[in-house]
Amino acid sequence: MAILSLTLPGRRAGIVSLKPGSTTLAVGADHVSAWDLAGRPLSLVRGESTWRRSLNGRLLCKRRERTAAGVSVLRVAVPEEAGREVLEAARLEAEEALEALRRDPAAAGDRYEEATARLARLAATGADFLASDAARFREIYRPIGILPPDQYLSRVVQATEGCSWNACTFCALYRDVPFRIKTHEEFAAHTASVREFLGPSLLLRRKVFFGDANALCAAPEQVLPLMEETARAFPVAPRELTGAARRAWLSVDPARAEGIYAFVDAWTGHRRVVETYRAYAELALRRVYVGLETGDPELLAWLNKPGSPDDAVELVHTLREAGVAAGVIVLLGAGGSRFGDRHVRGTSEVLTRMALGPRDLLYFSEFVPEPGLEYHRRADSPDLLPLPHGACAAQRAAILSSYRPADPSRPPTSSTYDIREWVG
């Protein structure tokens, strides 16, 4: 990474960071913008506000607010049109940085050509470029309902669309998207379009997410050719390569990838045998995300999620035997106080039986009670109302303190999965 110090008009300090897959520009005390190598803005900081832009052109604006009750985070989804002003201001700063660099080439030393090319690209990403880029995204993709937080910067390919179940009472992510599996020809054209669309930003996006919500629920004879197609478009690093050897292998071609990742529901996923997951792993599958939600079978049934916690345990063991890591997602706050104790107790037990290790991830996702969810119709008693944030945090702490990973000295990484952070 190279860091350049520049002086912008008005004697404002400008710092440009040339990272392997992105460019960051800091101006003055509280303006920062990050861009991919195709010139798309990724995130902006403006004082107390942070903006994240998705490939579909929408922005999420976040701001910390201090109230008498403490600090809360205000999130506002900003449509493409409404975000133009803040994006244009960031583009103008990139233009100013480019002019400052041309006045002072020594600031970049032997990276001058690269730095001017990158800044020129950012300076050229005006509203017209961004609008046509987002329109192209919408031609290639159906809306991407959700991704696990560690996959936000993945190359998403949609082998399937929608969710095959689509009836959990707490989820409306795919409500209007009929489930279907793409034909091989259709999917090959889709992956080629994704590769061409991402272009230089492939360098930033080294993981491949095999979407949508439940792509691995399709029969193995349907999944395998689509996964082969994915690995053809984005060759995946052999598993035995690590550290510098892996980085050297990846650096040969921006299309090369670190691995393939996917969701599966426990009900369908546990029916697949080890050999099936092993075949996927040989092709490049590295981690599968499983919505456990709860270890309490009664709460799971009340939420209308198919299968049982035992299915999820069996699935995680099968994945491990096949050499595939797990990302297990726990839902906090659903089922209210009526299910609260059983949820904590059952989830701790089930997570312990999963024997999660350092390659696995453990996510905690707070239930977001959006209007129109079936959940609200069923929660016909005050003790079923979703728990507030503080009680969700207490559930999380109780689960974390009582479950046992396979090796307590090497637990899985546990983290927050806030669906409101996903911009689309």
The binding site for ligand SF4 (CB under 6 A) comprises 163, 165-166, 168, 171, 173-174, 213, 265, 291, 305
* CB nearer to ligand SF4: pick between 165 and 277: 165
For residue 260, the minimal CB distance to ligand SF4 (Å) is 19
To ligand SF4, the closest distance from the beta carbon of 310 in angstroms equals: 17
Q: Compute the distance between CA of residue 303 and CA of residue 198 in angstroms, rounded to an integer.
A: 38
- 34/303 with CB nearer ligand SF4: 303
Rounded to an integer, what distance in angstroms lies between the CA atom of residue 379 and that of residue 386? 9
Q: Estimate the crossing angle of helix 336-354 against helix 389-402, to 10 degrees.
A: 30
What is the token pair recorded at 119?
């800044």
Cβ of residue 166: shortest distance to ligand SF4, in angstroms? 5
CB 298 within 8 A of CB 340: no
Phi, psi values for residue 114, rounded to 5° = -65, -45
DSSP helix/strand/coil, 389: helix
Return the exposure string of 62-85: e unless at least 16 CB atoms fall within 10 Å of the residue's CB, then b: eeeeeeeeeeeeeeeebebeebbe
- The answer to whether the beta carbons of residues 156 and 209 sit under 8 Å apart is yes
Least Å from the CB of residue 167 to ligand SF4: 6
Give the integer Cα–Cα distance in Å for 53 and 4: 25
Q: Which is nearer to ligand SF4, 100 or 215 (CB)?
A: 215
CB of 386 to ligand SF4, least distance (A): 15
Instruction: Tell me whether residue 130 or residue 362 sits nearer to ligand SF4 (CB atom).
Output: 362
Closest distance between ligand SF4 and the C-beta of residue 216, in Å? 12
Which CB, 60 or 173, lies closer to ligand SF4? Answer: 173
